[in-house]
Structure formats: C-alpha cells, structure tokens
Structure 1
Amino acid sequence: MRTESDIKQNSLINVSQQIPSVSADLQAGCDMSNLRSMFFVVGFLVYLISQGAAEPCFLAAKGSPTFPANFSFGVATAAYQIEGGWNADGKGPSIWDDFTHKNPDKIRDKSSGDVAADSYHRFDQDLQALKELKVDHYRFSIAWSRIYPTGDISSKNQKGIDYYNNVIDKLIANRIEPVVTMFHYDLPSEVQKIGGFANSLLVNQFVVYAIELFENYGDRVKTWITFNEPYDYCQNGYGDASYPPQVYAPGVADYLCIDNTLKAHAATYHSYKSRFAKTQGGRLGITLDSRFFFSRTNDEDIVDRGMQYGLGILAHPIFSKSGGYPDIMIMDIGANSQKEGRIRSRLPSFKNKWRDIVRGSADFLGLNYYSSRYIKRASKPNGVSPSWERDMDCDTSIDSNWLRAKSDWLYCVPEGLEGILKFIRDEYDNVEVMITENGWSDDGELIDDNRIRYLRSHLQAVLNAINDGCKISAYTHWSLIDNFEWLKGYTEKFGLYAVNMSSPNRERTAKKSAGYYKQIIESRKIPSIF
C-alpha cells in the first residue's frame, strides 16, 4: 500500500530529475516555452517542499488545527530506568537488578540501572524539568520491590512508601497530575523464584500489592495503570528469553504470562471498583503496545491478522464485546497444538467466569506506539516450533523510505499511529485511549531535529484521529530524560532532557525538542516549523 507521503516523495524525485534537462535547454539557448516550463517545474518543486514532501517523517493535517481544551499533554518515565538507588533504604532486588549484575555482557555498554539518572535522590531535578515543560501530567512507575522488597506484604517498606508520597505531593503542589503505573518490567526477584508471571499465584500477589498503593496514594492519584506492555515482558521474558527472567518456553510460558497478567489486571480493577473508586474518585486502565500493519496488496484480512496477534491478544479479552482471546488465535493455536500431539491448546482458555471478569475491566486503554510494519503471510515457517511467531505465520518488512531512529526497530511512521487509533475506535467501541508512550531515539544530540519531526508528525496523527471521531484524552511523550534503555543500556537516548551520566550530580539539560514540545503544550497547536 502506497501512502500519501510515498506518492509525494516519488513525485518530488521525478520532478527533480527533470530540472537538469531544462537547465541544459537554457544553456543551449532555450525559447520562452522552455523558460516557462522551467519556472513551472521549479514552482511545483517549491510547492511540494512547502507541503512537506521533501521532509522526512511528515503527515498532512486533516480538520481542526487545535487540540481539545481538556486534552492532556505529558511525559513518561519508568522506575528501573531512572531511579537508581537499587538497594537504597530497604529496597529489594528486581529481576532487572539480578539480570544486569549477573549478565553485564547482555547489555550493550555493560551498564545497569543501579544509579541511572539517580531520580531516587534527585527527583527535584526531574520536577524542575516538568515545570519548565508545563506538562499537564507525569506518568511514572512504582517499583514493586521498593514497596514490598520480597514482593510480599510481610516485607512492607515504609521508606519506599514515603519516597512515592513525596513525588506525588510535589507533583500535585505544582499542578501536575500523577499518572501511576504499578508494574513496568521490574518484578521482585522473590516473586520470580516461585514462577513469576507463569504462576497463577501472581494474581493474588499483585492484587495485594495494588491495594497497598490504593491505600497509600489513592486519595491523590486519580489515574492508575496496572501493567505496562505485557506483550513485551511476556514474549521477551518467558518466550525467547532475551529479557529477564530468561525463561525459554516459547509458545507456552509466554501465553501463560499473558493469561495471568490479564487475570491480575482484572482482579485489581474489580478490587479498586468495589473498595476504593467510590471514595477516591479515580479510574484504572492498562497500557498495551502494538505496531500497526499495512498491506502492500491491500489485504484487509492479513492486516487484521497482524493486529489480532499483536494488540488483540491483550485488548480483545478486555475491550471487545465478546471477550476472550481473538477467534483467529484460538483456532490457529488450537490446531497447531493438536498437530504437535497435545491434548489441549497451548493458549489458555478463559472459563466463563474469567471471561466475564476480564471483559470490560478497564476505564481506558493506555497505548504505547512507536512504529509500524508491512505484513504478509509467511513464505516459510517463522521461528521455532512452538512459538508465537510460528502461530502468527506472517512476514513483516519496512519501507526503505521511512526515517530510522538510533534504535534498529524504530522508524517514523506517523500514519501508523493514526491507523491504530482508528482500528481501536472501530474494533473496541471507541474506548477512551490515553497515549502513554511515543518517542524517538538518537545519540543524545541537543539539537535533535529528527525527534522534533517525529513528535510533530505523531501529534498530527493524534489530532487527525481526534478530528475523525477517535476518543483520545492524552498524549505522553517518552521520555522526560535520557535513561537506561534495557538491553541497549545508555547507548540510545529518548529524553527531551539529556542527563550527564558521567557527573555525580546527573545534571539535566533541555534539548531543542523540549522547547518545541513546550510550545505545543502552551498553544495547543502544532507549529509548522521549528
């Protein structure tokens, strides 16, 4: 499928190729018709440039140029990636502490989150950046093992509770809404020792932890997110074992992880609604991540297949009217399991009770979107057997014209964000969407024009979707500051603010993109130039 930007780009190339021949005619003594032709070509080229065709990472505007008055702009971080203080004041170890300490060679620069940006001791520096940006909300995560060092209520740590009380109080004092994520990859080590997300015991363990958070912070926190990107920590942690806890059981344990995550989320949601929501007045959702998929042959079925195996595996049980896993996955994985000689499907089946408990268990859908891919049916089996890749049975690819970030998986495809928002509108009854992450990586340069291009085009995608009837309440840029980027360590920078990791004071410095984002927040419009 050729996008509007592809067509414009090809037109620009064709026009530019005509200019030398016109110039040659002039040098040979052209007539007035050739001169008029040259002026037309040059004028058309200038027009295309003015429309953004010559600029990478561009999306045309549709409809109103102004964001709604109640639309919320913010930024995001995660505990392990910025806090440091990995064992300070009684905090227990997480699986990422264990992983980076035992396997430094797995991290590109052999680093860890032991100190990171040291936000545990230097939150006031983060607060200053938040105030400078004039954001409406700040999304951050709480480290489970800072509250319960062993993951269990018996290890309750008051100093950890006090730290987040301080963060929340300071945000509210500066009229910044705290948006709190309860879990962002950093499972307490002791919880993993009994199976972690592959053990159904996790459901009750997480609910007890969540209740602790509601009791301590619910009087001030009004927007809660249970889990961040379950697909990623399940697929990478319990499938291909590239992330901690490095359980290699593709097509089995990763599906168990997703199933237990959904149940823990739903049980937490109902606990909040029955015990806290009426008095505290908050709301609760979950953050899912997904690419959008395009078909070069306009095959809607293959696009839907990709979306169901990506977003749908977690969104369909919660946000669809029927509940349960997507039908295509139930059929495929059931058939594949039978071929493998199994007596039941590798994809857990929701009994009627759990189907009803999970369905509708969110007040909003948190969406992390970064990039997209083209998709088609696989030319040969993908991945090991069994595995999610083998079940999905698709090949994905990129467009060579897409602008690439420092991260090898990240391309600027703003039309993908617009597409996925419209998919959610149509597939899940236009549920409210909070964009909880969206961002661009580079080497850390302060004049970060490509980040601005990415930010501008993706906010345009959001605005286009709003103008097309999508219910979107917030945009959250990843990230406030440069931080520990998992397996890439500190070699890829996503922040609006640079952090001097070689200084004990970890000074924060605003990049050009910070000023650009501030301009959008203040004007509620997207500037055409930067």
Structure 2
Amino acid sequence: MYSAVLCVAAAERRFPDGFKFGIATSSYQIEGGWNASDKGVSIWDHFVHTKPEAIGDRSNGDVACDSYHKWREDIQLLEDLNVDFYRFSISWPRVLPTGFPNYISEDGARYYSDLIDGLLEKGIEPVVTMYHWDLPQPLQDLGGWTNPLISEWFADYARVIYDLYGDRVKIWVTINEATAVCDIGYDDLHAPGLESEGRGSYLCTKHVLLAHAKAYRLYEAEYKLKYQGQVSLTNQMMWLEPETVEDTELTELAIALSIDRYCYPIFSLAGGWPPALERYMAQKSAQEGEPRSRLPPFTQEEIQLVRGSYDYLGLNHYTTHTARPAASGETIGTYLIDGFKELDVKLGTRPEWSSTASGWLKVYPEGFRALLSYIKQQYGDTSIYIMENGFPDAGTDLDDQPRVDYYTSYLEQVLLAMEEDGVNVVGYSAWSLMDSFEWNDGYQVRLGLHHVDFTSPARTRTARRSAKYYAAVARTKDIDAEYQFDKIADE
C-alpha cells in the first residue's frame, strides 16, 4: 500500500459505503504481445502496421505496456490503489485467433483466466469488456461491423467468453464506445480506417446494437440464473450545450445523434431509434434522392430484441462541447471532436474552460452532472456505472496536480448528481491504470495514474500523485481526502 498519513477535510463529501471505485484499461492499449503464441491479427494491428502515418508519433501497440507478461505487477498496482474493481477488456483475436469459435487459443484463454484469478485472490472484482475495438481482421475482411452476420459472430464469441469466465465474472460490458467503433472508425480516423460516415457508420450502429442484444439475451437465457451476473454496454457520452439560446433545438438533435442513438433503442420504453433523429434522417435522405433512409430501420422483432437488453447503464465521459450551426463553407472535421457533418453542427468550447494535452478535451465538470441528470430524465432510475473518466497530459511530471484537480471536481459533480438530482450512480472507474497507447495520439498523450517508461524494456511503472490521491478516495469514499506523504518511506 502507498505509505501515507490520511488527513480528512472538515466538511466531508463522501460517497455511500456501497459505492464502488475502480479503474480501467483496454487490451490493445496495454497488453502488447500482438503476435504472441497463436494470437490472431486485430484491425488495430493491421491499421497501425499498414497506415503508420495515422498515428501522431508513428507508434503502435505491439509491445505497449507489456501487460501480457507483466500482469502480476499490474495486479499489485491495483491492490495499492485500494480499488473495488478492475475493468479490463478481452482481445477477441487472442482468444479466437480466426474470430470464429471453431478454434480457441489455449494460451489466450489461460492468460485471462490467470488474470481473473489473480484479481479475485486480492479481493478485486473483475469487470470484463468483451469488445474494446480490436476486431479480428478476418471478420473485417468479411465486412466487419457492416456485415449483418456480425451480430451472430459476436454472440458466438460471447458464448465462449461466458463459458470460460462466467463462473468468476459478475459484471460484463459487451461493447465499449459504439460511437468510436462506428462513427470514428468509419470516418477514416480509427481502425478499420474506412471513410463511410453516414452510411457505413449507421450500418455499424445497428449491427453493434443487435450484437450487444444477442449477447445479452444469450446470458439472460443460459447463464444468468446460474451465475447471477449483470450485462450491458458502455458508450462515450460527451455532453453538449447550445452555444447560444437560439441553438437549443439543434443541440437537442445533436444529443439524439451522439447519445440517444445508442441509448434509446436499449433503455427507452418504446425502443427503436430516437423519434426526432429518425424523422430527420428520413427527410434528409429523401432530399438527397435516396430511395430509403440512410439510418437503417429496425424490424419489430429487432426492436423487441434490443429494448430492455441491460442490467445497468454504462457510460464514459471526459468533456463537454458547445454546439452551433456551421457557417457557410465552414469545415467540419472529426465526428464528436470537431462537429457533426450529418447535422451541419460545429462543436466548440467556452474560453473559461481549462485546456488539457488533448485539444478536444476541456475541463468543465458541471457538464458531467448535466449529463447524468439528462440520463435519469430520459431513461429513469436504472443503476449507472461510470466506466471511464480521465485527464490527459504530456506525462512528464509525477506531481500531476491538474489530474488530481480534475478527478476531485468531476467526482464532486457525480456526488451532487446523486445527492441533489437523485441519479442512481453505483460505481466509478478512472481512466487509466497507467499510461498506454492512446490510439491516434500514440504515446504523446498520457492518462495514466502510473507513469510508464516506454523507453525501457521493463516498461517501468511509477505511481503519480494522482495514484496516491485515488487510492485515498477509493479507501475512504471521501473526495476531499488528501495525503501527506511519508517522506521517510519515500527516502
């Protein structure tokens, strides 16, 4: 444990005793071992090797944090953090090298089994994400998430994972950040690196929702009674505010596109697409001369399949943007970062919001409370797990006070949403356990509570100030907990 003397502020801001604190990572970002044993190639392996220029520092996740070999050391970091749970993801091609269940890798299956057992031995709950973007390349070669058969392929994969680990894993995330999978992945920024925004991205959206639902229904029918686990998906939810009062209606439509497109089919009483978005897309598609809406319809059977396919609501949140109509001729760049081409919406920020090492991520904690309150208003009192929330910097300083300030202010807004708005948040997971491969930024941007020396073959991990702060919060449930570090122990 981190050696420290605990000092508690006079006016405590404490989470309930049953509230769970955790921390998160993903397979491609930390594991390395990209071709270890019989692991198959993922779309991110293929993407970084064939388009190295797409990554800011031309790096990749071939070795990353080398957690494939250093998982025992990672468990010790987790124990030191006092966390209740560890959210990690399983690499689909590490367990099923071809993507299909006819061949299961013994080494891949054993790796995650050992990790799960190691966590449980330390009293840390494994929270397992089945899909955090590393699709097997053979499935991408067959069309990936635009192929309607992928929902069956995902359900087959889910069955393998449930059979392997269902006796020990009680909280499952089927798919992480569908908006990144579909909207950024089909905007030529993330793997698979295809440009099909507004067509391929919508096919992907529908098939991701169906894949999630089939994995959920499979667990519900064959595993839930025996194992008593919970299944849902988690999505990236950036809060949006109108730049001016005149932009309110347009902002509501942008929220329907970016948040409700992935929530309404699952969590609403009616199911199907958000009505305002469905109307807009039908009208716009007709104006463009399309024979049908580019937003593919659900059948009644599909609506029933997807609606209610959850045991909790998972969300990832980092920042807030403002929304306004794009000016004539104004360029709209990457989805969810620069704007929404579909709606001719330009995103921005306010000058008083603090900057971070990532241009798209501004610090506005009040937006987090607004988002949580919106979720409650739209989808009722379902329990919410915050599966990601974090702060990027250049990673050069172990005394990362701005990250501590970020966590303190955002946790305060979570607590206010719970206490004053009645939002049923039951768990919070910081991103991330350690510095890792941050997708298009490579290793230029760091979000880890632990610094990782990527120049060292040992990939040495070192706790930052934020790790010690978060360990205090996880232990006390008090966001005002501060540490005066034991200088003698440090020496």
User: TM-score scaled by structure 2?
Assistant: 0.92
Equivalent pairs: percent with the same residue? 40
Provide the residue aligned with 1:44 in structure 2.
none
Residue 383 of structure 2 is aligned to residue 436 of structure 1 = no
Distance in 1 between residues matched to 2:294 and 2:189, nearest whole Å: 21
Residue 165 (str. 1) matches residue 131 (str. 2): no
Amino acid at match of 1:272: Y
Give, as a single letter, the amino acid of the residue that structure 2 aligns with 1:93.
V
1:413 to 361, 364, 369: 364
CA–CA separation in structure 2 for the residues paired with 1:528 and 1:410: 26
Q: Which residue of 2 aligns with 1:365?
A: 313
Give the counterpart of 2:198 among 220, 230, 251.
Answer: 251
Structure with higher Rg: it is 1
Q: Does 1:106 align with 2:62?
A: no
Tell me the number of residue pairs that the alignment of Structure 1 and Structure 2 aligns. Answer: 467
SS of the residue 2:102 aligns to: helix
Q: Distance in 1 between matches of 2:332 and 2:393?
A: 33
Tell me if the contact between 1:382 and 1:390 (Cα under 8 Å) persists in the aligned partners: no
Which position in structure 1 is the counterpart of 2:76?
Answer: 128
| CA distance in 2: counterparts of 1:216 and 1:74, whole angstroms | 23
Q: Tell me the CA shift for residue 376 of structure 1.
A: 2.4
CA pair 381-336 structure 1, distance change in 2 beyond 3 A: farther
Partner of 2:340: 389
Aligned to 1:448: 400
1:505 matched residue in structure 2 = 458
In 2, Cα distance between the equivalents of 1:384 and 1:332? 19
Q: Distance in 1 between matches of 2:331 and 2:275?
A: 22
Distance 1:384 1:462, change over 3 A: closer
Residue 217 of structure 2 corresponds to 270
Correspondence for 1:291 among 231, 238, 242: 238
The Cα offsets for residues 250-298 of structure 1, whole Å up to 9 and x where unpaired, read as: 2100000000000000011101000000001101010111111122444
For residues 460-475 of structure 1, what are the structure 2 equivalents within 5 Å? 460-467=412-419, 468-475=421-428
| CA separation of 1:499 and 1:96: change in aligned 2, threshold 3 A | same
What is the match of residue 151 of structure 1? 99
Given candidates 254, 262, 283, the residue that maps to 1:314 is 262
Structure 1 equivalent of residue 436 of structure 2:
483
Residue in structure 2 matching 1:339, options 287, 292, 301: 287
Q: Output one character per residue of 1:71-107: Cα deviation in whole Å (capped at 9) or x when no partner.
A: 0001000000000000111100101101111122221
Flag the structure with higher helix content.
1
Q: Describe how 1:506-525 pairs up with structure 2 within 5 A.
A: 506-525=459-478
Q: Give CA-to-partner distance per residue, 1:220-274, whole Å, 9 cap, x none.
A: 0000000000111211222x21111122112100000000000000011101000
Paired position in structure 2 for 1:50: none
Q: Work out which structure has the larger RCO, using CA pairs closer than 8 Å and 6 or more positions apart in sequence.
A: 2
Instruction: Identify the residue that residue 51 of structure 1 maps to in structure 2.
Output: none
* Equivalent AA in structure 2 for residue 310 of structure 1: S
- Deviation of 1:398 after TM superposition, in Å, equals 0.4
Task: Indicate conservation of the 8 Å contact 1:111/1:490, yes or no.
Answer: yes
Query: Contact between 1:381 and 1:393, CA under 8 Å: does it hold in 2?
Result: no
Q: In structure 1, what is the Cα distance between the partners aligned to 2:197 and 2:257?
A: 15
Aligned-partner SS, 2:127: strand
Structure 1 residue ranges without an equivalent (≥5)? 1-60
The corresponding residue for 2:3 is none
Partner-residue secondary structure (3-state), 1:153: coil
Runs of 4+ in 1 over 6 A off after TM superposition: 381-385
Distance 1:528 1:518 in 2: 10
Matched residues in 2 for 1:373 and 1:309: separation?
A: 14
Contact preservation (8 Å) 1:226, 1:284: yes
| Structure 2 unaligned regions, length at least 5 | 1-8, 484-491
Query: What SS class does the counterpart of residue 321 from structure 2 fall into?
Result: strand
Match of 1:458 in 2: 410
RMSD over aligned Cα atoms: 1.8
